[in-house]
Structure 1
């Protein structure tokens, strides 16, 4: 038996709470931007975030409503997606506060900035990964705007690299869940994809690995 939910019969916030409870876990884009009119930097978490394209490398996040991040990106054409690690949990949450426009979350929350290499907005110094982006395009959908950014530079801390590749157990990503819930890494499982040529040969019964 299932419970049915009709988005037409529900309020916007009611169905938003349902969607964010079942589309989980969601990675967090900790987006830094620059306000050229107030000469200040903005920093805010956005949990509607993913990769859009590999060639060219494009990432996307959704601004629900017209947030300062979106306005600044429209004005400058640049932003940085900073990785959201577990140890910065409280600072990431604090940067979601609705500070007045022109108040820098870097200053208000006490987040240390560092200069970007290819873009004007600063990076988060303590974040292990920064994806510097130039605006590719935006797409308006209802009350939200999807922002597509072409990655022009990636900076990764050597502390999280193992054999030349970022290691997830060192990155320790935070994710967003429903309500006020957040997720941490937990158990990591590994399994290889099955080639069709191996399908009838018992590939589906192959071994899997996991680590805690």
Structure 2
């Protein structure tokens, strides 16, 4: 099939776009408000986009608390969402006001960061402590805009030592989860290796 993406005339029950760009890593973003309220939310429009410097990005539909807090306080943490914490990750996606602490809402333990103020998700195997760089409004050709791209430079990286084996990170053992389309997710529990030619 072919459909016009602007008209979105695919004729299916749901827009298939997010089911086709898969799997999408989940940026489980923690921030703190100007009033000191911890905030935690998962973003499936997330990725690492540079290694020199180390930069990560997440896209927010509208100006949500994570985006506002990152801009106002200049910091955020990206926690790796895994199979073991999938239910808590899902609970933290609940739409609540800025006065609600999603760590508490999801029943999660926290631990302090070393270089930034936002808390980290305890037991998450990886955390990226980030400083906010900029927010870019994402506009289409017609000028419509409802998403914002948030860029952050990674200042520090935490890796649970249990998952470092023979000098490399054992990603399959961590079992990170990723977003698919609709209400579907995937888990990375098996990997394969291919060396680049040349």
State if a TM-score over 0.5 links the two structures. yes
Pairing partner for 2:157 from 139, 148, 154: 154
**Displacement of 1:15 after TM fit?**
11
More helix by proportion, 1 or 2?
A: 1
Q: Measure how far apart 1:186 and its partner are.
A: 4.5
Q: What 5-or-longer segments of structure 2 have no aligned partner?
A: 139-144
Post-superposition offset of 1:53: 1.3
In structure 2, C-alpha distance between the alignment counterparts of 1:169 and 1:9, rounded to whole Å: 40
Structure 1 residues 67 and 51 mapped into 2: Cα distance closer, same or farther (>3 Å)? same
Give the one of 3, 27, 50 matched to 1:29: 27
Q: Aligned to 2:178, which of 175, 178, 203?
A: 175
Q: Distance in 2 between matches of 1:65 and 1:87?
A: 29
Cα distance in 1 for partners of 2:102, 2:168 equals 31
| Structure 1 residue 187: Cα displacement | 3.5
Q: Deviations over 1:120-178 (max 9, x none)?
A: 00000110000000011111102111111000000111111112321112111100000
Q: CA RMSD of the aligned region, Å?
A: 1.6
Are the equivalent residues in 1 in contact too, given 2:175–2:189 (CA < 8 A)?
A: no
Whole-angstrom CA distance in 1 between matches of 2:3 and 2:127: 39
Relative to the length of structure 1, the TM-score reads: 0.85
Asked whether the equivalents of residues 172 and 190 of structure 2 are also in contact (C-alpha less than 8 Å), the reply is no
Please name the residue that 1:18 is paired with: 16
> C-alpha displacement at 1:7, in angstroms?
2.4
Alpha-carbon distance in structure 2 between the residues aligned to 1:129 and 1:168: 10
Structure 1 residues not aligned, in runs of 5+ = 196-212
Question: 1:164: which partner in 2?
Answer: 167
Structure 1's consecutive aligned runs of 4 or more residues displaced over 4 angstroms after TM superposition are none
Task: Report the equivalent of 1:205.
Answer: none
- Name the counterpart of 2:190: 187
1:7–1:15 CA contact under 8 A, matched in 2: no
Higher RCO structure (Cα 8 Å, ≥6 apart): 2
Larger of the two Rg values belongs to structure: 1
Q: Secondary structure at the match of 1:106?
A: helix
Q: In structure 2, do the counterparts of structure 1 residues 58 and 16 end up closer, same or farther at CA, with 3 Å as the change threshold? A: farther
Retained in 1: the 8 A contact 2:89–2:106? no
